[in-house]
Structure 1
């Protein structure tokens, strides 16, 4: 008789028993077991770690990802130095005459944050390719994250959705087309517009404790150094509150860079001016290559401590305001 395939924690790899809700070794919530075959009895992991029959997550995807669209833009996503897994995700694509990018940061206090961030980023860019509207892309991403909740496992454990810990993530979606930049966001991943000539701008507003405290009059430095600073107040997930539409549009009247990133990068240069200076330094050394700049920025974050997952997308905007392949 063949021994049953062991159940293994997706975070640390330790074995656990059927019915366990948390890993005894690392405390990770056990919502998505990693195993050689699927509970459905018909499928095995595909190249991305999903069951090739029912689509269930079986194993984690690669920890570092890059996408290089040449002069049009690129992203790099890296686990950093202190996390076992990369819970960030990103997607980028040429969409008609423009470029779409989505960056997502999985909420590590919930189960399977990587499933949430990957679903959100992929769905957002796919939606932009179909309808070209950034808020519709956010709504599509939100639905994809809800779908990532393993309802069958919750039912098997007798846990109601209202009482469950579920996959969740932040998301920022940017669309550069012609002379326009459109951005939508939920959470504290950010988009910046850094013109070659003019004032740099953080286009997004964080949904976070620190942002709320600063809006209420708290000193910015004190708010950002508070232990609660990175507590997010909005996210995507089955347990999230209804989304408040937040879309920002900008007319681009000259060359510059659109940067989309998670807090694994911007936390090391939190002010707009310091972030702009950081980007300018690395863009100059990259000699006009978005992928080289993204790699360099990720290495900067790693050298600065690498305390979180790091994802950054670099999108050059040319004189006429259009992203070009």
Structure 2
């Protein structure tokens, strides 16, 4: 994911030639390891391990036939016939807590591990209550894949446990949900700290975005550059979040979005979750939903290829129409679309159909 603004670019990746900073351990563009050479004097932190939080079924049942040749995958994770390394459950996983809500999290094509994460929850009644959380691990930090997943799930659990409604008015209800979002960000930040080695030279860090939909009231909160959008069927698309990034600051000064988001520091973030975070209080946006539409929360692995709200809404609507309006199938198709554009980053898409 994104390199914090404090990084200074002074070299290039030997694999793809993209700009990297001296402190980076992985290339932002292609995910290649940058400093594998010298043997460490103390045991190195494993940056490509399975997450401490299990995904889906136990690991013993997660390994199936080899995707390349259909052969048997051995205990070491490699095909015994062709030698291809089997995909990890962490590389691609889905969630669908209710038929009207679904999400897909994918490693993409260029990166060697999936540092994106999501955690979602929903009540059974369509349009009633949905909680969507996405966290995107910073590529230059150690164990960001583990930390981002722990953060997303910790935030989801806090949001799922809370049902405070304020004093009964719309404003007090919005305030109560906003307070829950801030508590969720606190829990997510604590989860990142719990998955950070105290002496790590590059402590784990990630972005945070979460939305709470409750009976027509939509509240979003974010830290970093993962985003939330509302795409009503019969009205203008709305970007619910504003990025904490260098690009967003340039846009605020009048630089065009196309220029700002294509520059060398386009994905340098100015706020994040983690040990060295300057501030992890989420920006809060509140919206009253008055008609049908799509709520989407995503990482930059998707919006990299379609940043503006209006064309992204068109893409979501067309993709949904091609997939019978089914949220998880639509999210999966959007991930496939992002991979077809190059898949240069991890990709997460979570959708709720209201």
TM-score, structure 1 length as denominator?
0.77
Superposed, which structure 2 residues align to 1:193-204 within 5 Å?
193-204=230-241
Q: Which residue of 2 aligns with 1:249?
A: 286
The one of 90, 94, 100 equivalent to 1:72 is: 100
Q: CA deviation at 1:170?
A: 0.3
Q: What is the SS of the residue equivalent to 1:225?
A: coil
Range with greater deviation from structure 2 (69-78 or 278-287): 69-78
Q: CA deviation at 1:47?
A: 4.1
Superposed, which structure 2 residues align to 1:148-227 within 5 Å?
148-151=195-198, 154=199, 164-227=201-264
- Conserved in 1, the CA contact under 8 Å of 2:47 and 2:142? no
- The alignment yields a C-alpha RMSD, in angstroms, of 2.7
CA offsets, 1:6-63, max 9 Å, x none?
xxxxx98x99966457xxxxxxxx4237789x9xxxxxxx9479xxxxxxxxxx7521
Q: Which residue of 2 aligns with 1:116?
A: 147
Q: CA deviation at 1:107?
A: 0.2
Unmatched segments (≥5 aa) in structure 1: 1-10, 22-29, 39-45, 50-59, 318-325
- Conserved in 2, the CA contact under 8 Å of 1:191 and 1:259? yes
Q: Which residue of 2 aligns with 1:135?
A: 182
The one of 83, 88, 91 equivalent to 1:63 is: 91
Unmatched segments (≥5 aa) in structure 2: 1-31, 61-87, 164-179
Matched, 1:86 2:117: no
Q: Which residue of 2 aligns with 1:231?
A: 268
- Kindly tell me: are residues 262 and 245 of structure 1, through their superposed partners in 2, closer, same or farther at Cα, counting changes over 3 Å? closer
Range with greater deviation from structure 2 (91-100 or 272-281): 91-100
Q: May I ask how many residue pairs the two structures share in their alignment?
A: 271
TM-score, structure 2 length as denominator?
0.71
Distance 1:227 1:279 in 2: 28
- Kindly tell me: are residues 47 and 18 of structure 1, through their superposed partners in 2, closer, same or farther at Cα, counting changes over 3 Å? farther
Q: CA deviation at 1:245?
A: 4.1
Q: What is the SS of the residue equivalent to 1:77?
A: strand
Q: Which residue of 1 aligns with 2:45?
A: 31
Q: What is the SS of the residue equivalent to 2:90?
A: coil
CA offsets, 1:208-239, max 9 Å, x none?
11100111222222111111111111000001
Distance 1:48 1:235 in 2: 31
